[in-house]
Structure 1
Amino acid sequence: MQKRNEAANSPTASATQQATQSQGQSTPAGSASAQAPGQGQAPAQTQTTARQGRREGVRGPRRKVCQFCHDRVREIDYKDAARFLKRYISDRGKIEPRRKTGTCAKHQRALSRALKQARFMALLPYTAEHMRSM
């Protein structure tokens, strides 16, 4: 044990460690064996890179809040199509789902009813603009 510590503290051992660290390989002090070609990185290095790419919290992505509940809207009116109902229609002319908009079930039902009424009254288009020209 004492010889290993002395070998690790010698100037040649520290120079060898610095050379291997500059190449991106991390070997424990005193071991002269390097990684064989074809072997991956150490598990600790792979875990840290996987964590850096993920921006979600431990419990998952943040839950979306119903905009109508937040603003305390009592009734969704189909006549407000120009103001805010356009936000809830996709570029293809479809009603956006709850998982994308974050609305609660109660307001999603009222929203779809208002969107359908606005379409019927010709305040909103049934199809997207690029589909009408075909």
Structure 2
Amino acid sequence: MILLAVEAAFSTEWLLWPAVSAGVVAVATALGLPLGLPGEVLLFAVLTVAATLLSRRLIQRVNPSDSPDINARDGRLIGQRAQVVQAFTDGRGRVFVSGAEWPAELEGEAPMVGESVIVEGIDGPKLKVRAA
């Protein structure tokens, strides 16, 4: 119960399966199964490992890693059209995309202010762009 209470309070998801396993061991003991302390510890360990591994497979199936993460704004910028807001000099300028202004790098002919570019990648705080 303590593990489940801590999990409910902090929502870490680290204690969920140990809490469930502890509950199953408690029910098994309450039903009078003669496990003894070593058997209870072993059952707890096996259930915790099995539940954790199975839950990881379920989570990967329900939430595949190839779907975009709604919190990873940078990754969603790739492929989007951006507007040049500061002229490119020596391949460096600034663009506006997704509600924010970003420093950008460009190889090749530089577009004028107000023209569009396509975001091809991200290098730290800078966007790699190409002419549209």
TM-score normalised over the length of structure 2: 0.29
When you count strand as a share of all residues, which structure comes out higher? 2
TM-score normalised over the length of structure 1: 0.28
